[in-house]
Amino acid sequence: MRAGSPQKLIYDFSALKSDASLLGGKGAGLVAMLQLGLPIPPGFTLTTEACHAFYTKNKLPKSLVIELKEAIKRLERKTGRQFGGTKKPLLISIRSGAKVSMPGMMDTILNLGMTDKAAAALADETGDARFAYDTYRRYLSMYGEVVLGVHAAHFEALIETVKADKNYEHDHELSAEDWYDITQSIQKLLIQEGFELPKDPFQQLLDAVKAVFQSWMNPRAISYRKIMDIPDNGGTAVTIQQMVFGNAGDDSATGVAFTRNPSTGEKSFFGEFLMNAQGEDVVAGIRTPLPIEELQKILPAAYRALRRAEHVLERSFRDMQDIEFTIEHGKLFLLQTRSGKRTAQAAIQIAVDLVAEKKISRREAVSRISTQHIQSLLYPQIRPEDKTSIIAKGLAASPGAACGQIVFSPEEANLMLSEKRMERVILVRQETSPEDIEGMALAEGILTARGGMTSHAAVVARGMGKCCIAGCRTLEFRLGKVFLGKHELTSGSWITLDGSSGDVMLGQIPTHIPPPSAAFHTFMSWVDQIARLEVYANADTPQDVMLAKRFGAKGVGLCRTEHMFFEATKLAAMRRMILAKSGQERTQALGTLEKIQKDDFYTLFLALDGLPITIRLLDPPLHEFIPKSKAEMDTVATSLGDPDCISRMEALTEVNPMLGHRGCRLAVSFPEIYSMQVRAIRDAAHMCTKKPLVAIMIPLVSDPQELAHIRALCEKEAFGCPIGAMIEVPRAALLAGQLAKNADFFSFGTNDLTQTTFGLSRDDAAQFLSTYQEQDIFDQDPFCHLDASGVGELMEIAIDRARKQKPRLELGICGEHGGDPASIHLCHTLGLNYVSCSPYRVPGARLAAAHAAMKDNA
């Protein structure tokens, strides 16, 4: 605000050009419609600046009150009606409207200006007392609810009492007198509740404006913004218009229409309406609306006007519009237009159609589709209307929906599916560990009590494209039982998870996967033309590789060799190697493992069919292959015929395994492991007729000497393939220039880099990171979105130093962030060559890469 001259806070629709950040979406839409010559009720908008001023002063600023008074006067002049008047009373609507549409999140008040006298005047003027008092009682209920905070049920109850007294079944049976009585009972009720309706309707207007401003910060709106990533500081505009009445008689109606089908994207006018009703009746769902085609028969002129408006609006906004309209005595009024919400499928169909219709460019089509849209196409979904019986919420750790019978362990999953002939199971665990992988693979979905968005369960589930809800705090394992809030869970009970929302539901809820359309393929081809960053997939099995190819990955950016060893028979060989008593025993076990690895790589290479693959040598600490409990250790010892190996198993335990004996540190201690792996890769590659493009990647490098040492070790079994390093600890980033001398490429392991940069364990962070977000200390989870200021700067340092050493060094990222749009933007800006993510995130990543490239030219 400039000192001295208070900023103008209210604009008539005719006074300004359409600017959504100042006028909100609703206000801007009305200005635009006016300019397009479409019929709208006259009015004005209190800007978002007014909202800021309200929050700054914690009251309505004086200048705003003065402007508001003047604006009402202008409206009186324009309409020839009188606000709060006893003749031709002016009634107005007060509606919220932020820059970005937040449907249903904030408040609206209709019919303000109604008083006992104004109602009588309106009855007089229209000769329709029933209409006048119906309108009045609507106003009173809304004011009571929105401004005074009295629950709507109280007002409903008053109506129900009258209906019961008079033996009515439907509202339309209520007479003018009945509605009049109700307006009086509502006023009495408010007084009983300790409220008094201000006599002056302008005071009521001030209260209403205040209430709408305040609704910006209601918990519903706040959490909606959090989920939708809308900033909290935008504020809402308030649009005030003369009321038009869809409930003015049988030549009146109100409705909602879409210029295209919002479910399918089909190019056909779509909508519904109610005769003789006001807007909230459509929302309330008391009466069933009619399909929009019916309007053509009932009010053909209004219908024609609506279709004309619809054409004008879509042409003007070059997007599918969601239009609110009211017909008063046969005349059409448009109340709102905005880009319509749509399903993912519809979004793509519409974008592709609009390009075909030459309304938008391919680039614009690409810019309009969000990565969430794309991702949501790939997962099973639950229709919102089927979401009954939600009994808990957790972190939406891996999207999609799943339904199955509860099991509590991988063994139980196996048993249930094989012997008990269950068809689908959901694995419910305190948390998961690598030993649960087989169980996770068998399950439809995973629910855990602990762990955050990048806990083991979440990461593996996303990798498998499997639904997962993690960190479900109300899930408790106690005294050998499992509780979900007040519900005790038992094996075999049905449960349904929505991994896209974090909702846990009791029972079997139907799920469905929409098949990808032709439009989808067309669209993704445009995406790839625009993107500069290449998108690879993280894949460990031929199944993963097939998925990666199906989702358009350029190849495999990260193949984790350890995942090959968690299968039961392979795990046994791995354990024999780890627990070998002598060099000879170890060599023997390594021989077995080499055969296994060679076979695994061979089938992987066949699936790749010539696409490139980057294979990371063994990374996890050896104790990850060893069971944790004494009983399981005993079993292993027995199966190995080596009772002494228990102490060797115990000795492998680490205090901080994340920072322990893992990655290439294993190969410094046990060089034979990496040698075996490189030989297996080489020999498998030799077996292929179509030679795979293999690169070998060294994990957890922290020192140039170390990398030189490991590189030399690998090159002993060499076959000339590129050898690169993961940059996943800060020291590697800082020494990237020196590391580059011995690396053919770098891949940032941003999961570990985030852990070490923050000093934050992703396995343990869930329990306190949420507090950080609640208290606005962190505005995001650094394991979901790359931290630009810390981790990002280390990456920048590394890239800069690496490229100084080797200007054409290939640089990529293969952490979980590789599938996150915001992180992909950062990777693009930092100048990486590629990202690699789990196959299911590949299409979204391709789109995010295109979005990032478009920003360069914007």
Annotated catalytic residues are 456, 814
**Contact status: 706 vs a second copy (CB under 8 A):** yes
Check: CB of residue 206 under 8 Å from CB of residue 142. Answer: no
Listed as own residue / partner, the contacts of 305-314 with beta carbons closer than 8 Å and 24 or more positions apart are: 305/39, 305/332, 306/257, 306/332, 307/269, 309/33, 309/38, 309/39, 309/334, 310/257, 310/259, 310/269, 311/259, 312/36, 312/38, 313/33, 313/36, 313/38, 313/259, 313/337, 314/259, 314/260
* Cβ neighbours of residue 843 closer than 8 Å, sequence gap 6 or more: 374, 375, 377, 378, 524, 551, 552
**792/843 with CB nearer a second copy:** 792
**546 vs 659, beta carbon nearer a second copy:** 659
Strand partners, 748: 727, 813
Report which of 361, 384, 455, 505 is spatially closest to residue 765, judged by C-alpha positions.
Answer: 455
Which DSSP letter does residue 624 get? Answer: G
Q: Which stretch binds a second copy (CB under 8 A): 104-112, 322-330, 405-413, 776-784?
A: 776-784
Nearest to 38 by CA among 278, 263, 335: 335
Nearest distance from residue 798's CB to a second copy, in Å?
A: 12
- Which region, judged by CB under 8 A, interacts with a second copy, from 230-238, 538-546, 633-641, 698-706? 698-706
Residue 569 contacts by C-beta under 8 Å, 6 or more apart in sequence?
A: none
Is 586 a binder of a second copy (CB under 8 A)?
Answer: no
Among the listed residues 146, 407, 735, 842, the single contact to a second copy using CB under 8 A: 735
User: Is there binding between residue 787 and a second copy (CB under 8 A)?
Assistant: yes
Side by side, the strands of the sheet bearing 43-46 are 10-12, 43-46, 236-242, 92-98, 108-112
To a second copy, the closest distance from the beta carbon of 672 in angstroms equals 14
User: Is residue 76 close enough to count as binding a second copy by CB under 8 A?
Assistant: no
For residue 854, give the nearest of 369, 403, 490 by alpha carbon.
369
Residue (of 832, 587, 595) closest to 727 by Cα position: 832
Amino acid in the structure at residue 387: K
Q: Which of the stretches 25-33, 139-147, 305-313, 699-707 binds a second copy when contact is defined by CB under 8 A?
A: 699-707
Question: Is the Cβ of residue 260 or residue 616 nearer to a second copy in the bound state?
Answer: 616
Cα angle vertex 75, ends 74, 76, to 5°? Answer: 90
Q: Between β-strands 395-398 and 467-470, what pairing exists: parallel, antiparallel or unpaired?
A: antiparallel
The β-bridge partners of 338 are 322
Per DSSP, what are the bridge partners of residue 447?
428, 469
- Site membership for a second copy, residue 790 (CB under 8 A): yes
Q: CB of 794: closest distance to a second copy in angstroms?
A: 7
| Least distance (Å) between residue 790 CB and a second copy | 4
Verify binding: residue 130, a second copy, rule CB under 8 A.
no
Q: Which of 3, 153, 655, 858 binds a second copy (CB under 8 A)?
A: 655
Residues with Cβ within 8 Å of 632's Cβ and at least 6 positions away in sequence, in order, are: none
Least CB distance to a second copy at residue 671 (A): 10
DSSP state of 516: P
2 binds a second copy (CB under 8 A): no
Q: Looking at residues 750 to 769 of the shown chain, list those that interact with a second copy (rule: CB under 8 A).
A: 752, 755-761, 763-765, 767-768
Residue pair 844/371 in contact (Cβ under 8 Å)? The answer is: yes
Per CB under 8 A, 660 contacts a second copy = yes
Q: 154 with 189: CB under 8 angstroms?
A: yes
Nearest approach, Cβ of residue 461 and a second copy (Å)? 18
Number of amino acids touching a second copy (CB under 8 A): 50
Beta carbon nearer to a second copy, 268 or 767: 767
Query: Does 791 help bind a second copy (rule: CB under 8 A)?
Result: yes
Structure token pair of residue 815 = 């952490």
Residue 657 binds a second copy (CB under 8 A) = yes
Could you give the CA distance from residue 445 to residue 469 in angstroms, rounded to a whole number?
8
Of 477-506, binders to a second copy (CB under 8 A) are: 478
Q: Does 709 bind a second copy (CB under 8 A)?
A: yes
Annotate each residue in 606-645 with x if it binds a second copy (CB under 8 A) or - if it does not, as one string: ----------------------------------------
**E strand spans, 462-539:** 467-470, 475-478, 481-484, 487-489, 494-498, 503-506, 534-538
Bridge-partner residues for 468, per DSSP?
A: 398, 446
Q: In whole angstroms, how close is the CB of 268 to a second copy at the nearest point?
A: 50
Sheet holding 395-398, edge to edge: 390-393, 503-506, 494-498, 401-407, 425-429, 445-448, 467-470, 395-398
Q: How far is the CB of 204 from a second copy (least distance, A)?
A: 41
User: Phi, psi at residue 470, to the nearest 5°?
Assistant: -110, 170
Residue placing its CB nearer to a second copy in the complex, 338 or 665: 665
Element (H, E) at 265: none
Name the maximum alpha-carbon separation found in the chain. Answer: 105
What is the C-alpha separation between 719 and 375, in angstroms, rounded? Answer: 39
Report CA Rg, the chain: 32
Complex with a second copy: residue 316 or 433, whichever CB lies closer: 433
Is residue 776 a contact point for a second copy (CB under 8 A)? yes
Give min distance, CB of 471 to a second copy, in A.
13
The nearer residue to a second copy, 478 or 808, going by C-beta atoms, is 478
Q: Which of residues 442-481 bind a second copy (CB under 8 A)?
A: 478
- Tally of CB atoms within 10 A around 738: 18
470 strand-pairing partners: 395
Distance of closest approach, residue 330 Cβ to a second copy, in angstroms = 59
Q: Which residue blocks in 196-257 are alpha helix, DSSP H?
A: 201-215, 219-228
CB 685 within 8 A of CB 601: yes
Give the one residue of 729, 784, 824, 837 binding a second copy; rule: CB under 8 A: 729
The answer to whether residue 659 forms part of the interface with a second copy (CB under 8 A) is: yes
Q: Is 715 in the site for a second copy (CB under 8 A)?
A: no
Position 788 contacts a second copy (CB under 8 A)? no
Min dist. Cβ of residue 620 to a second copy (A): 13
Nearer to a second copy, 330 or 730 (CB): 730
Find the shortest distance in angstroms from Cβ 821 to a second copy. 23
Under the binding rule (CB under 8 A), the answer on residue 656 touching a second copy is yes
Residue 161 as a binder of a second copy (CB under 8 A): the answer is no
Contact flag: residue 778 with a second copy (CB under 8 A): yes
Nearer to a second copy, 384 or 583 (CB): 583
Between strands 395-398 and 321-328, the pairing is unpaired
Residue 654 interacts with a second copy (CB under 8 A)?
yes
Q: Where are the beta strands (DSSP E) in 573-625?
A: 612-616
Please identify, using beta-carbon distances, which residue of 256 and 723 lies nearer to a second copy.
723
Interacting stretch for a second copy, rule CB under 8 A, among 246-254, 393-401, 589-597, 725-733? Answer: 725-733
Whole-Å CA distances, 202 to 83, 172, 207? 8, 31, 9
- Which position among 189, 202, 772, 831 is part of the footprint of a second copy (CB under 8 A)? 772
| 661 near a second copy (CB under 8 A) | yes
In angstroms, the first-to-last Cα distance of the chain is 30
Min CB(774)–a second copy separation in Å: 10
CA nearest to 663, candidates 695, 703, 633: 703
Select 336 or 751, whichever has its Cβ closest to a second copy.
751
**Interface pick for a second copy out of 52, 78, 117, 731 (rule CB under 8 A):** 731
Contact call for residue 775 and a second copy (CB under 8 A): yes
Check if the beta carbon of residue 802 is closer than 8 Å to that of residue 740: yes
Tell me the per-residue interface mask from 237 to 266 with a second copy, x by CB under 8 A, - otherwise.
Answer: ------------------------------
Q: In the complex, which residues of this chain contact a second copy (CB under 8 A)?
A: 478, 647, 654-661, 665, 668-669, 700, 702-703, 705-706, 709, 728-731, 734-735, 752, 755-761, 763-765, 767-768, 771-772, 775-778, 787, 789-791, 793-794
